[in-house]
């Protein structure tokens, strides 16, 4: 069979070769597929599964689904018609979506983008999708003069629901439009559409925790309902087989080790049926790939929960202002995609059909913020530790019988600070390596390059944190202007400290004498005397939260930036409750902490008029580094 490239050169009609992808209509596209020898049912399924975007998209779908056991299954897709907002009001709703999710966690409303439901899900055969889209365009054309614009909305809240309800008279007009569409769809596509009969509304939040009601309502009242908006009628579909499945996103690639395992490609989506999980081993799930249609076992820690609408296919949208149909993504989709770029880790993401709705709510871009008066909070883990790189017995490599420090590796510091308790105190309070210092300076230089200012720096009393903070300031060229505030309350969970005593930390005077720039006049909010040994998880979380609130109250001037340099656990413990979120259980907390590397960096921004904070994109790029094992030329090269 010919290659994909050879097929593409043949399938695009000559008259369209100079046009942008997506200009080919279903009819001519179907004829091209049939002339290539594809069965008609497969060609129609590919076109319906990609929203008729283009020949190339449909070809890609067919090539990736060659092993799909349901490729020739005659099941139709399920379709739904929504009203979606565009323009300034849509932007505000997307902001609310993001803020409410970050502050209070995900609730049921987040499963689908902001919309007004016009009908229940209905089935349509693949061969009749064109007729369905034509029915929508015809109906909108008839109603564009009658449709109520601007659409009057009113905020409504209850103990478990927050939404924007359409004023009754306008709602009746919209319901008549939906009924007219149902009649037109029955005529053009032979489908049975049931118009939505309940009160028309945009759901903002439901099935949330009771203690989140006040915060969610406060955020909802910030949305200005008088902002400009064009409402578009948009048609979406989903695979009927996975209507009751959980939607998951692949975070990391995985190569199968056994025949019953599923290959994972980063960026793909997985459908998981709860019924099929009873027979799987712990740590594994059984799922089906959106990209290939193949099923198998996959490791649970390689995926994350996604939203229900992430895998829906967009087919058509029609504006009530212009009554023009869109065969690609609607304006609302384009705005949503631009504002909400996919959260991707390192590696190449899967190329999915461009009309699949893949738009989970991400972090707000730090560079896109417009208000300079908001306070910023940065939390950073320390740099590479000596005791981790050279082992827990590293002291025996570096100190002689008299306690003199001897450097035995280029990654060891040339000198170490003098300690009043002697060098044995380094055993529980290790310094960072030379590379750890370089890591920290890189972060500081990146902050300087991004024009990010730092006004206050607080750090854990651990030497590795103090040294990291000082080297960040070096990179920022602020080491002589900003003094480090050593705060014992920022120390990690004491349950993780070996033995029955806390480390014997260096005093601020000793640190200052070692030219580490500490503020010897600073009085901690949480003194060392209040730190307990083997504290409970709840005590640690409470301590971290209270210390952060005290620090932020101390730095309360608008527009200031605070940098916290502490431990891997600090990125979670110091920010989660500031967002209004309840603490994770200790097991989940440990799993999060394990994934945070040296110099792991996160950023928070104070929400204006809301009294809460949200995670945002850091102003700097991530820092990736790998292990470099000890090398002995004598052992490896000097051999007979």
Per-residue confidence at 626, pLDDT binned at 50, 70, 90? confident
C-beta separation of 475 from 449 below 8 A: no
Mean pLDDT over 418-428 rounds to: 93
**SS3 for 31?**
helix
Distance CA 569, CA 617 (A): 19
Cβ–Cβ under 8 Å, residues 439 and 598: yes
Q: Of 201, 238, 375, 381, which one is the catalytic site residue?
A: 381
Task: Give how far Cα 258 sits from Cα of 264, 279, 287, Å.
Answer: 13, 17, 15
User: CB within 8 A of 127, min separation 6: which ones?
Assistant: 44
In a 3-state reduction of DSSP, which class is residue 346?
coil
DSSP-based three-state secondary structure for 442: helix
pLDDT of residue 232: 93
* pLDDT tens-digit series, residues 312-335: 999 999 998 754 444 443 333 433
pLDDT at 368: 41
The better pLDDT of the pair 43, 456 is held by: 456
Specify the pLDDT at position 401: 86
User: Is 60 exceeded by the pLDDT of residue 46?
Assistant: yes
Q: Using 50, 70 and 90 to split pLDDT, how confident is the model at 523? A: very high
Average pLDDT for residues 597-604, to the nearest whole number? 94
382 is catalytic: yes
Burial of 289 (C-beta count, 10 Å sphere; 0-12/13-18/19+)? buried
pLDDT band at 61 (very low <50, low <70, confident <90, very high): very high
Q: Are 485 and 519 in contact (CB under 8 A)?
A: yes
Q: By three-state DSSP, how is residue 15 classified?
A: helix
581 close to 573: Cβ distance less than 8 angstroms: no
pLDDT level of residue 194 (50, 70, 90 thresholds):
very high
Cα–Cα distance, 218 to 15 (Å, whole number): 55
Instruction: Evaluate if residue 610 carries a pLDDT over 70.
Output: no
Look at residue 361 in the predicted model and tell me its pLDDT.
35
Domains (range + CATH), the chain: 29-59 (no CATH), 77-242+310-320 (3.90.1140.10), 252-301 (2.30.30.40), 375-385+430-616 (3.40.50.1240)
Distances in Å between the alpha carbon of 47 and those of 127, 245, 356? 9, 23, 13
Omega of the bond prior to 150 within 30 degrees of 0, cis? Answer: yes
Q: Tell me the average pLDDT across 499-516.
A: 94
pLDDT of residue 280: 63
Q: Which of 98, 238, 567, 576 is catalytic?
A: 567
Q: How many CA atoms lie within 13 A of 550 on its CB side?
A: 16
Helix axes 26-35, 55-64, angle to 10 degrees: 50
The three-state DSSP-derived secondary structure of 269-300 is EEEECHHHHCCCCCCEEEEEECCCCCEEEEEH
Q: Is the pLDDT of residue 138 over 50?
A: yes
For the segment 214-241, the average pLDDT, to the nearest whole number, is 92
Alpha carbons 531 and 508: distance in angstroms, whole number: 17
State the distance between the two ends of the chain, measured CA to CA, in whole angstroms: 55
Does residue 366 register a pLDDT over 50? no
The predicted structure's pLDDT at residue 563: 98
Question: What integer best gives the mean pLDDT of the chain?
Answer: 85
Query: What value does the mean pLDDT take over residues 143-154?
Result: 92
Q: Give 78's strand partners.
A: 123, 238
* Residue 263 DSSP one-character state: P
Give me the torsion for CA of 118, 122, 125, 126, rounded to 10°: 50
Q: Which of 238, 375, 382, 419 is catalytic?
A: 382
Coil/strand/helix, residue 566: strand
User: What is the 8-class DSSP label of residue 574?
Assistant: T
Angle at 365 between CA 360 and CA 367, to 5 degrees: 165
Position with higher pLDDT, 369 vs 422: 422
Report pLDDT digits (tens) over 325-365: 444 433 334 334 433 433 333 333 344 444 454 333 333 44
Inform me whether the pLDDT recorded for 588 exceeds 50.
yes
- Asked if the model's pLDDT at residue 81 lies above 90, the reply is yes
Cβ burial of 347 (10 Å; 0-12, 13-18, 19+) is exposed
Our answer to whether residue 207 is catalytic in this structure is no
pLDDT digits 0-9 by tens, 163-183: 999 999 999 999 999 999 999
Which are the contacts of 172, defined by CB distance < 8 A and separation ≥ 6?
Answer: none
Give the percent of the chain with pLDDT over 70: 85
pLDDT-derived band at 7 (thresholds 50, 70, 90) equals very low
Q: Answer yes or no: is pLDDT of 370 > 70.
A: no
Distance CA 116, CA 37 (A): 42
pLDDT higher for 300 or 324? Answer: 300
- pLDDT for 326 equals 47
Q: Residues 94-125: pLDDT tens digits?
A: 889 888 988 888 899 999 999 999 999 999 99
Is 110 one of the annotated active-site residues of the chain? Answer: no
Among 570, 549, 388, 537, which residue's Cα sits nearest to residue 465?
570
Q: What is the mean pLDDT of residues 450-464?
A: 96
């Amino acid at each position: 069979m010919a290659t994909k490239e050879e097929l593409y050169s043949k399938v695009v009609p000559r008259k369209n070769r100079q046009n942008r992808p997506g200009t080919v209509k279903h009819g001519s596209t179907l004829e091209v597929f049939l002339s290539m020898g594809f069965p008609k049912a497969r060609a129609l399924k590919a076109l319906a599964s990609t929203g008729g975007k283009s020949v190339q998209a449909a070809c890609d779908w067919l090539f990736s689904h060659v092993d799909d056991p349901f490729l020739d299954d005659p099941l139709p897709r399920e379709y739904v018609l929504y009203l979606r907002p565009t323009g300034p009001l849509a932007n505000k709703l997307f902001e609310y979506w993001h803020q409410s999710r970050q502050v209070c966690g995900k609730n049921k409303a987040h499963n689908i983008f902001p919309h007004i439901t016009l009908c229940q899900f209905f089935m349509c055969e693949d061969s009749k999708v064109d007729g369905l889209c034509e029915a929508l365009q015809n109906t909108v054309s008839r109603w564009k003069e009658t449709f109520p614009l601007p659409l009057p909305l009113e905020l409504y809240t209850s103990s478990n629901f927050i939404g924007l309800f359409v004023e009754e008279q306008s709602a009746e007009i919209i319901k008549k439009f939906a009924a007219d569409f149902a009649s037109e769809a029955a005529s053009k596509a032979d489908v049975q559409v049931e118009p939505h009969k309940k009160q028309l509304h945009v759901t903002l939040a439901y099935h949330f925790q009771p203690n989140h009601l006040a915060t969610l309502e406060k955020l909802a009242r910030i949305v200005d309902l008088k902002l400009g908006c064009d409402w578009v009628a948009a048609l979406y579909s989903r695979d009927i087989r996975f209507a009751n499945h959980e939607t998951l996103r692949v975070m990391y690639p995985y190569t199968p080790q056994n025949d019953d395992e599923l290959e994972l490609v980063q960026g793909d989506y997985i459908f998981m049926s709860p019924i099929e999980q009873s027979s799987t081993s712990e740590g594994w799930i059984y799922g089906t790939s959106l990209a290939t249609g193949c099923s198998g076992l996959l490791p649970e820690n390689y995926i994350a929960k996604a939203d229900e609408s992430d895998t829906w296919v967009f087919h058509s949208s029609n504006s009530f202002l212009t009554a023009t149909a869109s065969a690609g993504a609607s304006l609302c989709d384009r705005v949503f995609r631009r504002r909400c770029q996919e959260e991707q880790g390192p590696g190449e993401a899967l190329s999915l059909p461009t009309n699949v709705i893949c738009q989970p709510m991400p972090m707000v871009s730090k560079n896109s913020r417009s208000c300079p008066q908001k306070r910023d909070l940065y939390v950073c883990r320390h740099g590479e530790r000596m005791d981790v790189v050279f082992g827990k017995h590293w002291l025996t490599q570096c100190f002689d019988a008299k306690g003199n420090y001897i450097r035995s590796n280029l990654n060891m510091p040339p000198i170490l600070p003098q300690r009043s308790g002697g060098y044995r105190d380094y055993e529980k309070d290790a310094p960072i390596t030379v590379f750890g210092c370089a890591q920290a300076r890189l972060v500081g230089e990146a902050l300087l390059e991004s024009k990010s200012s730092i006004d206050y720096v607080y750090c854990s009393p651990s030497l590795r944190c103090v040294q990291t903070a000082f080297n960040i300031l070096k990179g920022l060229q602020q080491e002589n202007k900003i003094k480090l505030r050593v705060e014992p309350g920022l120390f990690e969970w004491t349950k993780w400290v070996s033995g029955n005593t806390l480390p014997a930390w260096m005093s601020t005077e000793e640190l200052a004498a070692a030219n580490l720039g500490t503020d010897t006049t600073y009085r901690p909010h949480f003194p060392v005397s209040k730190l307990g040994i083997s504290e409970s998880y709840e005590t640690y979380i409470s301590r971290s939260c209270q210390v952060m609130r005290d620090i932020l109250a101390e730095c309360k001037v608008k527009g200031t930036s605070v940098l916290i340099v502490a431990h891997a656990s600090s990125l979670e413990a110091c920010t989660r409750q500031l967002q209004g979120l309840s603490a994770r259980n200790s097991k989940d907390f440990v799993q999060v902490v394990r994934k945070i590397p040296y110099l792991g960096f996160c950023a928070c921004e104070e929400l204006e008029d809301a009294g809460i904070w949200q995670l945002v994109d850091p102003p700097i790029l991530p820092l990736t580094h790998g292990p470099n094992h000890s090398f002995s030329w004598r052992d490896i090269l000097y051999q007979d």
